[in-house]
Structure formats: C-alpha cells, structure tokens
Amino acid sequence: MYFHISPTKLSGVLSPSIPRSAKADGEPLFPRICVSPTVSQCMLSKHWVDFINIGLYVYSTDCSAVDCWKVVDSKWTDEKWILGSAKFEFKTFLSPAILSRLHNKWRRHLKKNNFTGIISFVPPSFHLDWLKKQKPPKIIEKFW
C-alpha cells in the first residue's frame, strides 16, 4: 500500500502529472504520481509546513510503483512513482488545525534541539524520526 497527500481534494482515479516543485527541486520533468509507504514520509516529501493554512488530503492505493530517481530526499521518504493512472481511496483530511498543532510542536522541538527553525536546513532523518513519534488522526494511525 502507498500513500499520496495533496492540498486539493482529488477524484478516485489520479493521472500522472509533473509535480509543481520538480523543476525547483531539480527532479525529472515528466508526469508521475508520487507515493510513499507511510503518511509521515509523504509529509516529509511534501514540505507539509507549507500547507498548515490549507490542510492536506490523504489518499491510499494498492497499485504497484517504480523506484524514483534524482530525488534528493528519497532516502528518507522512500518515494516511489506510479507512471499510469491509478485508483486512490480517500483516507482523511489533515485540517489546518491539526497541521498547526503539529507545526507548533515541531517548532518547539527545533528550538529544544538548537535548530534555527528553517526547515530546509534540518536533516531529513531528524525530521522523519520526529514525525513518526507524533500522534496522527486515528483513521491513519497504523499507516503513520
């Protein structure tokens, strides 16, 4: 099972597209659906802090996926790509309130560990370890 998160409510069947951040992140510019084996890994790859005022929709699929390439954080996110259309099931919505509480905890954790608070300078492994320790909404608890 793989997960996909989006700030947009999506229909049940997703089609590959070029991620908006691909060019800026130096990733390949071809259509795909980015997925990860856990929701916390999706959040790490999606820079979840950018969405605290919008919220994030969580989807899952049992479709097969291929290994990605030229994705810097894939060592931590275990990102895979689905290259064709795929059926996804809506799991839950991580509301702005949920993400804000998580963000406040994250900022306190950064301060406690002497980080400046600029998320891009925090080692991904440190960020993922912290995310995995957070209590997620019950509906996605076992997939966190």
Spell out the per-residue pLDDT of the chain, length 144, in tens. Answer: 999 999 999 988 999 999 888 887 788 898 999 999 999 899 888 777 788 888 899 999 999 999 999 888 888 899 999 999 999 999 999 988 888 888 888 888 888 887 765 554 677 888 888 888 888 777 677 777
If one counts the domains in the chain, the total is 1
Structural domain that includes position 51: 2-143
**Looking up tokens 């994030």, which residue turns up?**
56
**Cβ of 140: how many Cβ atoms within 10 Å?**
17
